[in-house]
Structure 1
Amino acid sequence: MMKLDKKDWKILWQLELNSRQTNSEIGKKVGLSKEVVNYRIKNLIRKGIIKGFYTIIDSSKLSYLSCRFFLKFQHDDPGKEQEIIDYFVKLPFTWWVPSIDGTRDLGVVLWAKDTYKFQKIIRDALNKFKPYIKEIIPGVYSKFHIFKRAYLADKKSNSEPSIISTTGDYTKHDEVDLKILKIISDNARISVVELAKKCNTTAAIVVYRLKKLEKNRIIQGYRPMIDLGKIGFYWYKVNLELDDYTKIPEILKFANSHPNIVYAYEVIGGADLELEFEVNSYEQFREVLNEVRERFSKVIRSYEHFLFFKEHKISYMPK
């Protein structure tokens, strides 16, 4: 764990709110010059606390399903497990690949044009690695909710609105939009000038297109990719089985308000509701979990949890 001072935490919070803010804009909000903000961000990157900046893109608005599956390995072979991880990381249509400690070993989230394509991806993987895969648990996101990491600002509750993705509403776009999205998906703080050069267009066109992509909610936000371990945090997932689905909006409202609940997923083929916590210890995880259980004791039938301990890939746009 690396020690951060109050200014570093404030900078992380501003980047969490919008990673495309300029150093000058961040500086005004945290009480530092743009030069000092630039130095501190570079230092956070150098230390590996910030691993990059990514753009949140709604796949459904580009006519993609957002799908995922969990894997459980068998025949203990670390070399083969790494080969499987590398295989999924290199696939152009995967956008998140985390290692897991608990009832699963690996998660794979990807974009697919339809369920046939999703099935083919699973079958291709099984054809290649089936002797080493004990179980595969597929699912298709119907909706996922992204909440701000209010704990970065030491807030007791979160008042920022959630980002709700995979809404299913196709939005018209063209090749220029796709070029911009592919570049900015992995580099959310890229300058307009540099982005224009890479897209072989003008800065004015890029500014216009970005505003349009944001207005149409194809681009839903810009975030830092934080190495949680280096700031002393852990990432847990809790799968809830419910007795009353009408209470899901109430659970989501509570989740959005909690500083340590950062994601919620509604999945076809998954649990009734999936929540993800970022906490500074197992004890804090139990505290947050117990808050949820006590508040919704008449709704939650059962639950299971596991720990994400390493992200191998995150990119919200297929290449």
Structure 2
Amino acid sequence: MIIMDRKNTLILKELDLDARQSNAQLARKVGLSKDAVKYRINKLEDKGIIQGYYSIIDYYKLGFNISKILIKFSNIGEKGEVAITNWLENEPTVLWVAQTEGYWDIIYTIQAKKMSELILFMETFKKQFPKTTSEIQLLLAQECTFLNEKHLYDKEDENKFEEIKIQSESIKIDARDEKIIKELEENSRAPLVAIADKLEITPEAVLQRIKKLKKTGIIKRFKSRINFEALGLEYNHIYLAIKDYSKLIEIEKYYKKMDYCTFIMKYQGNYHIHLEWVTKPGHLRKYLKELKEKFGDYIAEYHAINIFKEFKML
């Protein structure tokens, strides 16, 4: 665990709100010089607290569907797990991969424009790794809510969230916009000049395209990716199957306000919602007890999963 001072916490908070802010903009907001901000960010990166920078992209507006796949292994050993995670990391349609502790052993997120593409991917996976899984769960995401990294914030009224929802119509973009999105997925702080060089256009042209992508709602927000373990925190997914579906919105509204909930995704599938909690060590049990006391009558099943290693994060 790395001890954080107030200035570093403020820098992380500002990067959570908008990771494309310049060092000069950050300096004005946190009360430091531009060089001091640059030095601190470099240190936070070197110490592994900041693992990278990403963008919240509304894939639904680009015509994609998002699915979550949960896998339970069948005694394959570490070598087999490494082979699977390496394979998933190299698949371009996979957005996120994590190794987990709990009922499920690995979870990944995939994007696909057609159901046939998703089915083909899953069939390819099964053929590539036969006899390695005892259970696979497919969840079709219908809505995602990205919340603040609330552990960095002091006030509830600072809470900001971005929502993306499944929709029938999509927005067409050209190849250059697709490349810009790809660059900003991998590094939301990528300099305009660096992106412009790859696209062979001017930095001003890149800036105008980014502004347009934000205006249309395709790009929702630029964020930093934080290593929770380095801050002495635990990262958990709570998957819920709801027997009284009318209570789903009530559960969602309640956890949007909780200072340890940072993400919510709703599904069609055996689970109906998952909550992402960033908690202090030992607090998970308390929050699960609260969940059962408040909503236990409406929950058919739940699984609490600890995310202990992320392999791919877009």
- Is the structural similarity TM-score above 0.5? yes
Local SS of the residue matching 2:259? coil
Write the letter of the residue equivalent to 1:187: N
Matches within 5 A, 1:165-244: 165-168=164-167, 169-244=169-244
Shift of 1:279: 0.6
Q: Distance in 2 between matches of 1:28 and 1:289?
A: 40
Comparing 81-90 and 129-138, the one that deviates more: 129-138
Residues 187-217 of structure 1: per-residue CA shift (max 9 Å, x gap): 1001122221121111221111111101111
Q: Over residues 295-319 of structure 1, what are the superposed CA-to-partner deviations in whole Å (9 max), with x where a residue is unaligned? A: 435533442211111100012xxxx
Distance 1:172 1:19, change over 3 A: same
**Structure 1 runs of 4+ with >6 Å offset:** none
**1:5 Cα shift?**
1.0
Show the 5 A alignment for 1:265-284. Answer: 265-281=265-281, 283-284=282-283
Q: Which residue of 1 aligns with 2:306?
A: 307
Give, in whole Å, the separation in 1 of the partners of 2:20 and 2:291.
33
Which residue does 2:148 correspond to in 1? Answer: 148
Aligned residue identity for 2:94: T
3-state SS of 1:131 partner: coil
Q: Count the aligned residue pairs.
A: 313
Q: CA deviation at 1:134?
A: 1.4
Retained in 1: the 8 A contact 2:71–2:107? yes
How many angstroms apart in 2 are the aligned matches of 1:73 and 1:242?
Answer: 25
In structure 2, the residue matched to 1:160 is 159
**Do the aligned partners of 2:65 and 2:166 also contact (CA within 8 Å) in 1?**
no
Q: Distance in 2 between matches of 1:273 and 1:24?
A: 40
Q: CA deviation at 1:143?
A: 0.9
Aligned partners of 2:210, 2:265: CA distance in 1, in Å?
27
Q: Is the 8 A contact 1:69 1:136 kept in 2?
A: yes
Q: 1: CA distance between counterparts of 2:243 and 2:6?
A: 43
**2:63, 2:277 → 1: CA distance?**
29
Residue 43 (1) aligns with residue 54 (2): no
Q: % of aligned pairs identical? A: 29
Q: Distance in 2 between matches of 1:304 and 1:60?
A: 27
- Backbone CA RMSD of aligned residues: 1.6
| Whole-angstrom CA distance in 1 between matches of 2:300 and 2:122 | 30
Aligned twin of 2:88: 88
Query: Structure 1 residue 154: deviation in Å?
Result: 4.2
Structure 1 equivalent of residue 262 of structure 2:
262
Cα drift, residue 184 of structure 1 = 1.3
Q: Contact (CA 8 Å) 1:150, 1:158: kept in 2 or not? A: no
Q: What residue ranges of structure 1 are gaps of 5+ in the alignment?
A: none
Say whether the 8 Å CA contact 2:241–2:270 is kept in structure 1. Answer: no
Supply the distance in 1 between the matched residues of 2:77 and 2:150 (Cα, whole angstroms).
39
SS of 1:312's partner is strand
Q: Residue 291 of structure 1: CA displacement?
A: 3.6
Paired amino acid for 1:312: F
Corresponding residue of 2:108: 108
Q: Secondary structure, in 3 states, of the residue corresponding to 1:48?
A: coil
Letter in 2 for 1:56: I
| Cα distance, 1:275–1:209 mapped onto 2, change above 3 Å | same
Local SS of the residue matching 1:53:
strand
**Contact 2:139 2:271 (C-alpha < 8 Å) held by counterparts:** no
- 1:287 correspondence with 2:298: no
Q: Greater CA deviation, 93-102 or 167-176? A: 167-176
CA distance in 1, matches of 2:157, 2:259: 5
User: Which whole-Å CA distance do the structure 2 matches of 1:20 and 1:287 have between them?
Assistant: 36
Distance between the aligned counterparts of 1:267 and 1:137, measured in 2? 12
Per-residue deviation at 1:185?
0.9
Shift of 1:13: 0.8
* TM-score, structure 1 as length reference: 0.93
The CA distance in 1 between the partners of 2:181 and 2:158, in whole Å, is 28
- Per-residue CA deviation, residues 226-255 of structure 1 (Å, 9 max, x unaligned), is 111111111111122324323322322222
Q: Secondary structure at the match of 1:130?
A: coil
Matched AA of 1:267: Y
Per the TM alignment, residue 287 of structure 1 is displaced from its structure 2 partner at its CA by: 2.7
SS at match of 1:32: coil
TM-superposed deviation, 1:290: 3.4
Q: Check 1:161–1:152 CA distance in 2 against 1; reply closer, same or farther (3 A cut).
A: closer
**Deviations, residues 36-91 of structure 1 (Å, cap 9, x unaligned):** 11110011001111111011111111111111211111134211110111000011
Relative to structure 1, the CA distance from residue 211 to residue 271 in structure 2 (aligned partners, 3 Å threshold; closer, same or farther) is same
Partner AA of 1:232 in structure 2: G
Does structure 2 conserve the Cα–Cα contact (< 8 Å) formed by 1:51 and 1:227?
Answer: yes
Q: Distance in 2 between matches of 1:270 and 1:236?
A: 19
